Every structure is written in C-alpha cells, then in structure tokens.
C-alpha cells in the first residue's frame, strides 16, 4: 500500500465572534471548478475524494453514487474492510485521479461522483439540541472543519445561505472528513428570515461576536439552541446580529483574543453542549 493510499480507518459516528483581523482565504468559488481541479462533476454531480469522505458516502443510504474511481490499493482496502462499493468501480492509476483533482489533492486513491444530498427545510429541524448557523463563511476548509466538529458534537443541522457559501463538494467535503454525510446542510435564500423562523420555532438564537455584551459562559442557554457564526474579518452582518435573540463573545485569558472561525465553532459548541447537559 502506498503512502497516498494510507490513512486511519474511517469510523462512523451516529471575526465571527472573535476573529477580526484575518480574512477568509480567498479562493475561486466559481461553480464547477477550483484552482487545483474540478469541484463539481458533470450535470452538477458532487465530487468526493479521500478515504473518510468516500467511504462515509458509500455507507450512507441517502447518498446516490454515480461513478467511482479507485486505485488497486484502495479497491483492495475497501474489500478487506467489507465496505460495499455500490457501483462497479473503474480501476485507475493514482495519476489519473491527480489529473482530475490536481496534484495537491490528497485523494488516497478514491474519487466518487455522487448526487448532492437534499437540503431539509427549517421547519423540519428537531426542536432539541444545537444547530449551527453560518453567516457568509466562504472558505471551504473552514466550513468543512466546522462540519467535522458539528458531527463530533451531534449538531442537528448547519444552516447557511445558498449564495456566498462554498458548495458541498471537493475541498469542503474532504475537509469535513465524512461529516457531510452525518450533519444535514440546510440551504436558505435569506439568512435573516431563516433566523426569524428559528426564533418563531422557539430556538434560542445566539450570535457570536467579539463585540457581544456578555461572555457566552455567562448567558443562560436553553434548547433548542442555534449558535450563529460570521465570517472572519467581517463578523456577523448587522441584520443577522439584530435578528439573533442574544449576541455573545468568547473571553480568553491569553494575549491573543481572536481565533480562526472553525476553532471558534469548536469552543462555542463545547460550551453550549456542556451547559445544556449534552456531553453525557
């Protein structure tokens, strides 16, 4: 097995608020392409690559796989771990996948083209636990990392806008490391209206911003809880802030007072889950 094909086994698991100085990394976000390769397949299919990402899709009954490219090592490993391929794979050399994705993509010998997962509606979200709301966070690496943390904390869904957010494919899916199959992604046209709907459904909507009047640990949280994060540099937009039922900050004792938005999400989720008794 080559180093490119090697990674630990996939294990299935059933300044936004503070970052004000560093902007989201600027990457081309045009639909259907990226700097290093194709982000979207033919007919709008989702591109998935990497061991965790592809194997999570293969075991997800809600995901329809249309095409599967595998190296011999990857195909052998799938068979050894009794992961059903669901479609007849095309066995290729690693450089054939490199040509599709670009030389910097760590694909471990797996690439799948799949149908996008459906986007549920706000009215279908369970009125319990935690929901994350993302206000124009555009970096696919950050959104993917947030999704991975969301899966770890059993977040019920992530709400974001259909525009000004990365597509759930390619780099985002790889960064999410399988979480794309575990956390529903709710796409909305207008974030303020979506927050208003959450408020109407008795969600406590808490925006996270360095200018918040109270520290998140000082606010009495309740379920269902929606934590709202804004893009690095811009933070929460004004209408988003005004629609939240509360705006909080995260106080830290060190000299650096701001975090990357994906790290901020982890900290906020830990505080929220602990305060709501969800860590048991």
Look at residue 1 in the predicted model and tell me its pLDDT: 46
Q: What is the pTM of this model?
A: 0.84
Q: What is the pLDDT of residues 234-267, one digit of tens each?
A: 899 999 999 999 999 999 999 988 899 999 999 9
User: Token pair of 187, please?
Assistant: 């796409």
Look at residue 7 in the predicted model and tell me its pLDDT: 42
Look at residue 109 in the predicted model and tell me its pLDDT: 97
Look at residue 24 in the predicted model and tell me its pLDDT: 39
Look at residue 232 in the predicted model and tell me its pLDDT: 81
User: Token pair of 190, please?
Assistant: 């207008």
For residue 184, which of 133, 137, 118 has the smallest C-alpha distance?
Answer: 118
**106/49 Cα distance (integer angstroms):** 8
Low-confidence ranges of the chain (pLDDT < 70): 1-42
């Amino acid at each position: 097995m080559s180093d490119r094909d090697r990674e630990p086994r996939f294990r299935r698991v059933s300044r936004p608020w503070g970052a004000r100085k560093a902007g989201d990394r600027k990457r081309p976000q045009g639909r259907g392409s990226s700097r290093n390769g194709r982000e979207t397949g033919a007919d709008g299919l989702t591109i998935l690559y990497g061991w965790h990402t592809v194997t999570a899709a293969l075991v997800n009954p809600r995901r329809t796989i249309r095409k599967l490219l595998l190296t011999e090592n990857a195909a052998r490993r799938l068979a050894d771990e009794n992961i059903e391929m669901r479609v007849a794979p095309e066995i290729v050399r690693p450089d054939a996948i490199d040509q599709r994705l670009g030389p910097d993509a760590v694909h471990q010998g797996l690439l799948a083209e799949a149908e996008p997962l459906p986007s549920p509606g706000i009215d279908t979200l369970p009125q319990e636990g935690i929901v994350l709301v993302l206000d124009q966070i555009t970096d696919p690496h950050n959104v993917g990392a947030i999704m991975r943390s969301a899966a770890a904390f059993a977040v019920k869904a992530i709400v974001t806008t259909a525009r000004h957010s990365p597509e759930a494919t390619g780099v985002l899916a790889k960064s999410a490391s399988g979480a794309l199959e575990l956390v529903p992604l709710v796409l909305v046209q207008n974030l303020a209206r979506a927050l208003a709907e959450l408020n109407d459904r008795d969600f406590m909507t808490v925006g996270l911003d360095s200018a918040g009047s109270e520290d998140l640990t000082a606010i009495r949280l309740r379920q269902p809880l929606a934590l709202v994060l804004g893009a690095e540099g811009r933070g929460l937009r004004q209408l988003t802030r005004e629609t939240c039922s509360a705006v909080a900050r995260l106080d830290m004792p060190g000299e650096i007072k701001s975090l990357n938005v994906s790290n901020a999400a982890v900290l906020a989720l830990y505080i929220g889950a602990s305060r709501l008794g969800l860590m048991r």
